[in-house]
Amino acid sequence: MSDKPSESSPLEREVSRRGLLAKAGKLGAGALVAGAVAAPAEAARSKAARTSAKVPTGGTVTWALEQDPAFIAPFGATLTANRWGNEMMYESLLEWDPKLNLKPAIAESYKVSGKKSIDFQIRKGIKFSDGSPVTANDVIYSFLQQATPPAPGTSASTSQLPAIDHLEAITPTSVRMYLKQPDARVYGYLAWQRYSSIVPNGIYSSKNMATDGIGTGPFMLNGKYVSNDHVNFVKNPNYWKPGLPYLDAINFPIITDEQTRLAALRTGQIDGATVSVDGAAAINGAPNVTVLHGLTAAFRELQFTIKPGENKPWSKKQVRQAINFAINRANILKQVYNGYGQYSGVVAAGYGPWTLTDDQLQSKYEKYDLPTAKSLMKAAGVSGFDVTMTTFATPTDFAAIAALIKADLSQIGINVNIVPQDTATFAANNSAGAFDWDLTARGMRGDVDGYVAEYHPAAAIYGKWFSGWGGNKQMFKDIGNGRITLDPAKRIPIYQDLNKVLMDECLEIGLVSVSKWQVVNRRVKNMYVAFTDFNTGLRNAYIKA
Amino acid sequence: MTTFLIRRLIAMIATLFAVSVTIFLMVRLMTGDIISIIFFGDEAATDEQKDLVRKQLGIDGSYFHQYTHWAGRILFHGDFGNSFQTGQPISEILGHSIHITAELIVLGIVIALLFAIPLGVISAVKRDSAADYGARLTGLIGISIPGFWLATLLIIFTSQVFNWLPPLLYVSITTDPWKNFTQFVFPALSISVFTLAIVMRMLRATMLEVLNLDYVRTARAKGVPRRTVLIKHALRNALIPVVTVAGFEVGYLIAGAAVVETIFNLPGVGFNLLHAISQRDYPLIEATTLLIAAVFVIVNTLVDLVYGLLDPRISVAD
């Protein structure tokens, strides 16, 4: 993506009130979804061409966060909200553009220097917001903190670390990263930036990083983060991208109640916020706001446990396949999400070239095909069964999807008993494998491996979820090779094959990827809904005079 | 009086001990803990990593060990521990939130009493009049309306009709008293309606009873002005059960304020408690619950003392 903005964001997809309210009823959800796939890329190309030369600078945007970050320390946090609270000031060696293409960031270049080493050249002249230059020692220090996060972080985030062994300075402005074994996840780990921020050497001993911080991002802290209240930023005068940021400041008040956010948007007290699909419908048409939507990595999924000796009906592949074909995803999108969203496999829809296309999913792998589902059940020798499906009590879309799945599966003789649970209970049971079926959600991953690693016996969770499953050699081979293949050109075909194997095995059944809704005051331009679930668009946003 | 206070103090300590044990066990008996929340969705996490975080947070030993460690820190060091989620000291979190809730509760009680007492008196004195029916209807509505619903309605109403909202970031009373008032008046109104209705109905009932007592008739017969009889003789006695109710209401208001605080974006005690429960933030849940229990016990002790002031016939035995 060009850093120069167009009049409205390259990826901005505004919604008319009529469109939002009527879409579900008037359009076939399939057609809608097909259109949605192509829209961002085409919009990006056409709108970028209309880039205006003169961009207004200055002004403050007030953007409400819907969840408290808890703390803004860069390491050891697992809440997505933590990144919302610090993403304006922290960057990593690499970054993604809005379409998840790798871009240099603090590192202006990198090269694979050996089978298990990568060299990073630090960008010439790059400085932290306090004016100090970024050096190899800062990078080395930052990676040490990532491996052993200091308080208030915990070591919970270290499971996201790829196989980095250690880093060494080659020169004061270049580092060599040594890997324990070849690991292609490194690039995504760096570009995602969620766990891989670069901070000044020794900063943890001089600052309370829970509420304070220094980074290289487009903005720097203005004051300190106040829990359950606000975190504010002002323009970083030392930012390395020429001309950016356009805004003078961004303030993030924390407003957890959606009705309050909507009311504040109406009154202009805030300039933007994330809302639910119902909230978007409620405010769409208000004179001072624009409703944006876009796909994120969040998708809904049906999980099974297959344990040894239990011999549950879904331990047979044909039964799992029957379930897959009996679920009407178009209806889920129409009924639950007003027609917005997309079919999803086991890798998040829209996750670059690493997943199956929407067309492949709709026409083949996730086709709603009741006759085939019935014949698969018959071939498996299963006439029907009762099962308990647990899901989240909130947000309410889970219960709505569960009800539709129950209705769909009753047509092939499966009687689903739905049990909603609070998040902590659900999470505990899920991670312990204490469930038969879970209707759950997945989120963003730094690398495609994060979506598929669980299907390999080496994964910690495998034994709790799939220990009674016979296995699939091709699947295991693809997962292993995918992780160690550093060349993307060679790596993509591996995952294309793996996706197909996974869709055939149906160990987990991807359902739909949902749209994220953000409401923005009309004066704010160049904002877009980021696929990563962060508010990255604010970095390049500006205010129209 | 001294014996009474000592007795109440012992009862208070026993109550708080019982609350601490109960809440300590209850939060741990809930399915799911902070570990399951922070590792949720992380399929790569190993049991060893989870155990390490459990150890870092101090929830790896037996319940007995955890309780004695936690209680010991409170008793001997005044240390309530740190929040699992934020790492912030609990005393800091409560120190910030308690005055927000206190202000909200005080304002809520003031609003409730300001309306409930005149309405209750008028309703009793002008029994079966239009004013009485109006007051009783107000009471009925007040009891029926959930505070969170009224709060949401107020937010929507003021934003849609007046294009105005109360400030959404906390402003302390010392920084800007007027802004602080505009921030607190609507949430206080939202939490006050139930108390207003309860107190009004209670006062009406007790006033009706008192007005029919002999000493009121005697006072009137002796030529004491009606206003004096009402305020000095009848109301003073009718207020005794009202004080009890108001005392209880303080405890309920703290708990009930949680949702209203969330709607009006006031990070008070209830707001923190709600978040702490959903996140299984044990130290914050335990400390907040203890605090609410302590306030409940203290307020009720004060109510007992106020009895004596309102009615000289009631005195605390030494």
B-chain residue closest to A260, CA distance: B263
Q: Which of B39, B57, B168 to mutate to test binding with chain A, by most A CBs within 10 Å of its CB?
A: B168
The CATH number linked to B258 is: 1.10.3720.10
Query: How far is residue B297 CA from its own chain's centroid?
Result: 12
Which chain A residues are closer than 8 Å to B36 by Cβ? 424, 427-428, 430-431
**CA-to-CA distance for A303 and A439, rounded, in angstroms?**
6
Domain shared by A487 and A367, yes or no: yes
Q: Report chain A's terminal Cα–Cα distance, integer Å.
A: 24
Give chain A's mean pLDDT. 89
CB contact under 8 A, A257 and B170: no
Q: By CB neighbour count within 10 A (0-12 exposed, 13-18 middle, 19+ buried), where does A50 fall? A: exposed
Please spell the DSSP secondary structure of B89-147, one letter per residue: BHHHHHHHHHHHHHHHHHHHHHHHHHHHHHHHHHHHHTTTSHHHHHHHHHHHHHHHS-H
- Residue ranges of A 78-97 with Cβ closer than 8 A to chain B: 78-79
CB contact under 8 A, B56 and A154: yes
Domain shared by B168 and B228, yes or no: yes
- Residue ranges of A 222-261 with Cβ closer than 8 A to chain B: 227-230, 253-257, 259-260
Shortest CA gap A209–chain B (Å)? 11
Of the ranges A179-183, B284-288, B293-297, which one carries the lowest mean pLDDT score?
B293-297
Domain shared by A339 and A468, yes or no: yes
Confidence at A9, pLDDT banded by 50, 70, 90: very low
Q: Is residue B317 part of a domain?
A: no
In terms of residue numbers, what domain contains B193? 93-310
Domain shared by B106 and B253, yes or no: yes
Confidence (pLDDT) at A395: 87
Q: Which of B43, B93, B169 to mutate to test binding with chain A, by most A CBs within 10 Å of its CB?
A: B43
Domain shared by B201 and B132, yes or no: yes
pLDDT tens sequence across A70-80: 999 999 998 89
**CA-to-CA distance for A165 and A147, rounded, in angstroms?**
10
Tell me B173's DSSP state. T
Q: Which residues contact B29 (CB under 8 A, 6 or more apart)?
A: none
pLDDT tens sequence across A362-378: 999 999 999 999 999 99
Over 80: is that where the pLDDT of A24 sits? no
Taking CA atoms, B22 is separated from A8, B30, B81, B272, B275, in Å, by 56, 12, 18, 20, 20
Q: Is residue B53 part of a domain?
A: yes
Domain shared by B298 and B213, yes or no: yes
Over 90: is that where the pLDDT of A92 sits? yes
Over 50: is that where the pLDDT of B138 sits? yes
Quote the ipTM score.
Answer: 0.83
Which chain A residues are closer than 8 Å to B264 by Cβ? 260
Q: Is residue B84 part of a domain?
A: no
Q: Which of B18, B44, B77 is the last residue of a domain?
A: B77
Out of A260, A427, A453, name the one closest to residue B37 (CB).
A427
CB contact under 8 A, B271 and A228: yes
Query: How far is residue B129 CA from its own chain's centroid?
Result: 34
A545 or A178, which is more confident: A178
Domain shared by B32 and B177, yes or no: no
Q: Which residues contact B9 (CB under 8 A, 6 or more apart)?
A: none
Q: Is residue A412 part of a domain?
A: yes
Which chain B residues are closer than 8 Å to A454 by Cβ? 43-44
CB A96 within 8 A of CB A103: yes
Bond preceding residue A287 cis, omega within 30 of 0: no
Over 50: is that where the pLDDT of B314 sits? yes
CB B199 within 8 A of CB B116: yes
Domain shared by B207 and B256, yes or no: yes
CB contact under 8 A, A269 and B267: no
Domain shared by A188 and A322, yes or no: no
Q: Which residues contact A322 (CB under 8 A, 6 or more apart)?
A: A372, A373, A374, A376, A377, A380, A412
Tokens linked to B138: 């107000």
Taking CA atoms, A220 is separated from A85, A151, A196, A539, B209, in Å, by 12, 21, 18, 12, 67
Which chain A residues are closer than 8 Å to B86 by Cβ? 70-71, 152, 210, 227
Q: Is residue B254 part of a domain?
A: yes
By three-state DSSP, how is residue B47 classified?
Answer: helix
In terms of residue numbers, what domain contains A93? 64-217
Q: Which of A160, A194, A227 to mutate to test binding with chain B, by most B CBs within 10 Å of its CB?
A: A227
Please spell the DSSP secondary structure of B72-91, one letter per residue: HHHHHH----B-TTT--BHH
Q: What are phi and psi of A133, to 5 degrees?
A: -70, 150
The CATH number linked to A492 is: 3.10.105.10
Q: Which of B45, B77, B109 is the last residue of a domain?
A: B77
CB A231 within 8 A of CB A225: yes
Please count the structural domains in chain A: 2
Mean pLDDT of A511-523: 96
CB atoms within 10 A of CB A240: 19
Please count the structural domains in chain B: 2
pLDDT tens sequence across B160-207: 899 999 998 899 999 999 999 999 999 999 999 999 999 999 999 999
CB atoms within 10 A of CB A360: 17
Domain shared by B23 and B137, yes or no: no
Confidence (pLDDT) at B61: 86
**CA-to-CA distance for A454 and B46, rounded, in angstroms?**
12
Check CB contact of A406 with chain B, cutoff 8 Å: no
Over 50: is that where the pLDDT of A41 sits? no
- Residue ranges of A 372-391 with Cβ closer than 8 A to chain B: none
Q: Which of B27, B33, B86 to mutate to test binding with chain A, by most A CBs within 10 Å of its CB?
A: B86
CB contact under 8 A, A425 and B164: no
Out of B42, B93, B278, name the one closest to residue A422 (CB).
B278
Domain shared by A194 and A304, yes or no: no
B-chain residue closest to A461, CA distance: B43
Q: Is residue B161 part of a domain?
A: yes
Shortest CA gap B100–chain A (Å)? 13
Shortest CA gap B57–chain A (Å)? 9
**CA-to-CA distance for A288 and A290, rounded, in angstroms?**
7
Tokens linked to A201: 């050497």
Over 80: is that where the pLDDT of A32 sits? no
CB contact under 8 A, B275 and A68: yes
pLDDT > 90 fraction of chain A, expressed in percent and rounded: 81
CB atoms within 10 A of CB A378: 13
By three-state DSSP, how is residue B268 classified?
Answer: coil
Over 90: is that where the pLDDT of A53 sits? no
Over 80: is that where the pLDDT of A249 sits? yes
B-chain residue closest to A255, CA distance: B265
Over 80: is that where the pLDDT of A545 sits? no
Q: Which of A161, A189, A217 is the last residue of a domain?
A: A217
**Residue whose pair of structure tokens reads 């930012």 in the numeric block:** A239
Bond preceding residue A245 cis, omega within 30 of 0: yes
A-chain residue closest to B158, CA distance: A263
Tokens linked to A134: 């970024």
Out of B43, B262, B278, name the one closest to residue A454 (CB).
B43
Q: Which residues contact A229 (CB under 8 A, 6 or more apart)?
A: A253, A254, B169, B170, B267
Tally the residues of chain B.
318
Confidence (pLDDT) at A43: 41
Mean pLDDT of A489-518: 95
**Residue whose pair of structure tokens reads 């044909």 in the numeric block:** A318
Out of A227, A268, A442, name the one closest to residue B88 (CB).
A227
Domain shared by B146 and B172, yes or no: yes
Domain shared by B56 and B122, yes or no: no
Q: Is residue A390 part of a domain?
A: yes
Over 70: is that where the pLDDT of A156 sits? yes
CB contact under 8 A, A227 and B46: no
Angle between helices B177-211 and B90-125 in degrees, nearest 10:
40
Out of B32, B262, B279, name the one closest to residue A428 (CB).
B32
Confidence (pLDDT) at A16: 55
Shortest CA gap A439–chain B (Å)? 13
Confidence (pLDDT) at A15: 60
Domain shared by A329 and A454, yes or no: yes
Domain shared by B28 and B148, yes or no: no
Over 90: is that where the pLDDT of A519 sits? yes
B-chain residue closest to A231, CA distance: B169
Q: Which of B29, B48, B77 is the last residue of a domain?
A: B77
CB contact under 8 A, B56 and A155: yes
Q: Which residues contact B132 (CB under 8 A, 6 or more apart)?
A: B122, B123, B124, B126
Tokens linked to A26: 């008037």
Domain shared by B70 and B98, yes or no: no
What b/e readout covers A450-467, taking b as 16+ CB neighbours within 10 angstroms?
Answer: bbbbbbbeebbbbebbbe
Domain shared by A201 and A306, yes or no: no
Beta bridge partners of A175: A120, A169
Domain shared by A383 and A497, yes or no: yes
Angle between helices A258-267 and B147-161 in degrees, nearest 10:
20
The CATH number linked to A103 is: 3.90.76.10
Q: What are phi and psi of A442, to 5 degrees?
A: -115, 165
By three-state DSSP, how is residue B165 classified?
Answer: coil
Which chain B residues are closer than 8 Å to A270 by Cβ? 168
Confidence (pLDDT) at A19: 53
pLDDT tens sequence across B27-83: 998 888 888 888 887 777 888 888 888 888 888 889 999 999 999 999 999 899 999
Confidence (pLDDT) at B254: 79
Alpha helices in A344-388 (DSSP H): 358-360, 370-380
Confidence (pLDDT) at A355: 93
Q: Which residues contact A489 (CB under 8 A, 6 or more apart)?
A: none
pLDDT tens sequence across B71-115: 999 999 989 999 998 888 999 999 989 999 999 999 999 999 999
CB contact under 8 A, B271 and A260: no
Q: Is residue A30 part of a domain?
A: no
Domain shared by B165 and B268, yes or no: yes
**CA-to-CA distance for B222 and A531, rounded, in angstroms?**
83
